[in-house]
Amino acid sequence: MAKGLFWLALGFLLSSCATTYEVGGNPASISSRQTASVEARPGYSGDAAIRSAITGELRQRGFRLTESRRKTNDHVAVVYGDTWRWDFVTYILRMEMEFIDPQTGAIIADAEYRNSAAHGYAGAETIVRNLFAELDRQGFKNR
């Protein structure tokens, strides 16, 4: 019995240590678009470092940035949300991005970062860079 509880507790502990980067949808379909806008999801912090990192990654991939959504077939709206916690320093607990077709409002792709219970203190640039790396692995980057 004690041995079973040990393995159960160890499994829980190890699973809580996993920081994850996940991508869904069809990132490859975004690569044909030419322009992008970036906006914070209402009710979230709208952190300037996250916004700057996202716009930087989009520029590296050849997107022209606009201040607002355009209802054209070559545009994608990137909407992000972030959840922060404090543990001696402020850190990002969760961050998500949705790539939205402004003409239909449909989510084309999404990317999410989740920090673990035994968290690290990755900065906004690192998190965004890693999310875009995951998107690139699924065909986002073609320029």
- DSSP SS3 for 136: helix
Task: Please state whether the predicted TM-score (pTM) of the whole model is above 0.85.
Answer: no
**pLDDT for the residue 4:** 53
Per-residue burial over 6-41, b = 16 or more CB atoms within 10 Å of its CB, e = otherwise: eeeeeeeeeeeeeeebebebebeebbebebbbbbbe
Mean pLDDT confidence for 125-137: 94
Q: Between these two residues, 40 and 14, which has the higher pLDDT value?
A: 40
What single DSSP character describes residue 50?
H
**pLDDT for the residue 11:** 46
Q: Where are the alpha helices (DSSP H) in the chain?
A: 2-16, 48-60, 124-137
**pLDDT for the residue 5:** 45
- What are the structural domains, with CATH classification, of the chain? 19-137 (3.30.160.670)
